[in-house]
Each structure stands twice: as C-alpha cells, then as structure tokens.
C-alpha cells in the first residue's frame, strides 16, 4: 500500500511525532505499529503490504527520539513518555482509521504495547507482540552497565554505542544491509534511556497479573540474538485468565517481519489468520 496521509502529533511536552497512514481498499479493520529501539515506523513496509489485501489499514509512526520525530535521539526522562505518546497515537488512529483497531508492538515497541495494554484501552481490540523486549539476550559488559547507571543520574543524555550487530536483526542479507545503511536508524542509546528500559522490563515481568484478560498474539523467533524469547514465553504462561495465542518460529531472528521472504510469509499468514479470527468472533 502507498502512503495515503502523513502528519504530526504533538506530545504533551511539545515533542513532535511523525506518523504515516496506509489506507487499504474496502478496509475491515486497522493496525497501529509501535516500532522497536533505534529504528522507525517506515521499516514495516512488508507488514503493510501483507495486510493491505486483507482490508487492514495501517498507521505507523516514529517514537520520540527515533526516525523523523523530534526529541533527543533514543532518550527519555521516563519510560512513561513512550507510553503516553503511544496512547496519543491510539487516540489518533481511532479518529483516522476504521474500527476495530489492533496494535502491533515489535521489540521495545512490544514492551511499550504491554505497558499500554495494562491500562486496558477500550479502543484496542487486540495486541500483537513481535519478539517483545522483556529481557536482553545480549550480555551487557559490566563497564557499560556501570557507566550507564552512573551517567543516568549525572549525565542522562550521554550516548553510548548500542553494540548491536546489524547481522543479528535478520537472516536476509538484503534486510541486514538496508538496516545497516538506513540513516534514520540510531547506533547509540543514552544512559537514562537504558536505565528506564531495564526498569520497564522488570516491571512488566514482575506483574503478570496486570495483564489478566489480555487478548493477544505473541510471535517469537527462537533464534533471536537480541532479545531472550524464553522470558516472553515464561511471562505468557504466568498471565492469568489469558486469551493469548503464541507462535514460535524455529531459528528465526529478531525482526520477524523482515526475515527471508518465505519465512516472513509464514509469520504474516499466522498474523492474518489471527486477525481474521478476531474479526469473525
């Protein structure tokens, strides 16, 4: 689908967030994309193209400090700022797109989505989580951990290289090259962002009861070298009164929507099947 509308959202603190809408012909439902760490919403073209023929319109946006949105790169004073921004995006999607509305969150976006879902927004019919960032698979060197925690208080905007190899994002060489050479992808994170990120992970994992009644689809790559998929699987098992469908893909890497074409088609087929079941129910 081509972009049918671009625009801006002004966050409560004045940060300007960029969004794009991809309208499907004869739409039956809509999807809001919350992207991951150090990337941006325009990287979800394969997902947009997969959903369009099934009548799913898509709105994707750039979180603060990411992509074309305002704000210092990969920086937040509090993770609650991401949550508040996502709530604004949901409100806008409700105004702009046909109901019902679903939300997909990838990686850090999945963590944000879970924090929003705990508030049980009535406008969202269901949640799709793609390798949500609940625990890092990458071992953070002790010196970098100590630096980030100390600087979070003294120099919160200090940028530290993330150290994530582009080849860990996907098994598709073309997608890896696109990721590595995308000028809108960030290569660093700030000290305050890191401590807020880790605190948010711990909060979600410590309170599965807050997600009781969550209606969702969880997509996990067992070959993910960036996020620990077992932590997500364990959390899903601890959520009471759950209505969650979980799919694990053997050997798939972190960006399930950007895996080699045949593999991502499998992920898209499962996603579409789940969406259709929700629409029929």
Structure-derived torsion over alpha carbons of residues 94, 95, 100, 105, reported in degrees to the nearest 10: -40
Judging by DSSP bridges, how do beta strands 16-22 and 56-61 pair with one another? Answer: antiparallel
pLDDT of residue 146: 82
Query: Is there a contact between 176 and 86 (Cβ–Cβ < 8 Å)?
Result: no
pLDDT of residue 109: 98
pLDDT of residue 273: 98
- pTM for the model: 0.97
CATH number of the domain that residue 77 is part of: 3.40.50.1820
pLDDT of residue 160: 86
Residue appearing with tokens 């009861």: 209
CA-to-CA distance for 19 and 93, rounded, in angstroms?
Answer: 10
Tens digit of each residue's pLDDT (9 = 90 or more) over 30-72? 999 999 999 999 999 999 999 999 999 999 999 999 999 999 9
Rg value, the chain, Cα: 17
Question: Which structural domain range is residue 191 located in?
Answer: 5-280
Query: How many CA atoms within 13 Å lie on the side-chain side of 34?
Result: 34
CA-to-CA distance for 270 and 171, rounded, in angstroms?
Answer: 20
Q: What is the 3-state secondary structure (H, E, C) of 127-190?
A: EEEECCCCCECCCCCHHHHHHHHHHHHHCCCCEEECCCCHHHCCCCHHHHHHHHCCCCCCCEEE
Low-confidence ranges of the chain (pLDDT < 50): none
CA-to-CA distance for 20 and 139, rounded, in angstroms?
Answer: 35
For the chain, the domain total comes to 1
CA-to-CA distance for 5 and 256, rounded, in angstroms?
Answer: 26
Judging by DSSP bridges, how do beta strands 29-34 and 101-106 pair with one another? Answer: parallel
Tens digit of each residue's pLDDT (9 = 90 or more) over 63-94? 999 999 999 999 999 999 999 999 999 999 99
Nearest of 66, 10, 15 to residue 38 by alpha carbon: 66
Nearest of 47, 1, 43, 50 to residue 24 by alpha carbon: 1
Nearest of 124, 165, 130 to residue 35 by alpha carbon: 130
């Amino acid at each position: 689908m081509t972009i049918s509308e671009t625009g801006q959202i002004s966050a409560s603190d004045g940060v300007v967030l960029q969004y794009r809408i991809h309208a499907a012909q004869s739409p039956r439902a809509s999807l809001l994309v919350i992207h991951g760490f150090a990337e941006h919403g325009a990287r979800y073209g394969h997902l947009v193209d997969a959903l369009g023929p099934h009548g799913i319109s898509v709105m994707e946006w750039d979180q603060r400090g990411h992509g074309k949105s305002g704000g210092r790169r990969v920086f937040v004073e509090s993770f609650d700022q991401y949550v508040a921004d996502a709530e604004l995006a949901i409100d806008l999607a409700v105004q702009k797109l046909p109901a019902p509305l679903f939300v997909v969150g990838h990686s850090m976006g999945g963590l944000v989505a879970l924090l929003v879902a705990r508030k049980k927004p009535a406008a969202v019919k269901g949640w799709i989580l793609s390798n949500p960032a609940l625990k890092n698979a990458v071992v953070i060197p002790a010196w970098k951990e100590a630096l980030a925690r100390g600087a979070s208080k003294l120099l919160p905007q200090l940028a530290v290289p993330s150290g994530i190899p582009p080849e860990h994002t996907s098994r598709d060489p073309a997608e890896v090259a696109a990721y590595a050479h995308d000028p809108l992808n960030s290569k660093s994170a700030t000290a305050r962002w890191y401590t807020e990120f880790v605190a948010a992970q711990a909060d979600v994992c410590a309170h599965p009861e807050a997600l009781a009644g969550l209606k969702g689809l969880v997509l996990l790559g067992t070959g993910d070298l960036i996020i620990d998929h077992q932590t997500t699987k364990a959390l899903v098992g601890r959520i009471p009164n759950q209505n969650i469908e979980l799919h694990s893909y053997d050997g798939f890497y972190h960006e399930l929507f950007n895996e080699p074409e045949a593999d991502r088609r499998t992920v898209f087929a499962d996603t579409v099947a789940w969406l259709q079941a929700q629409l029929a129910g």
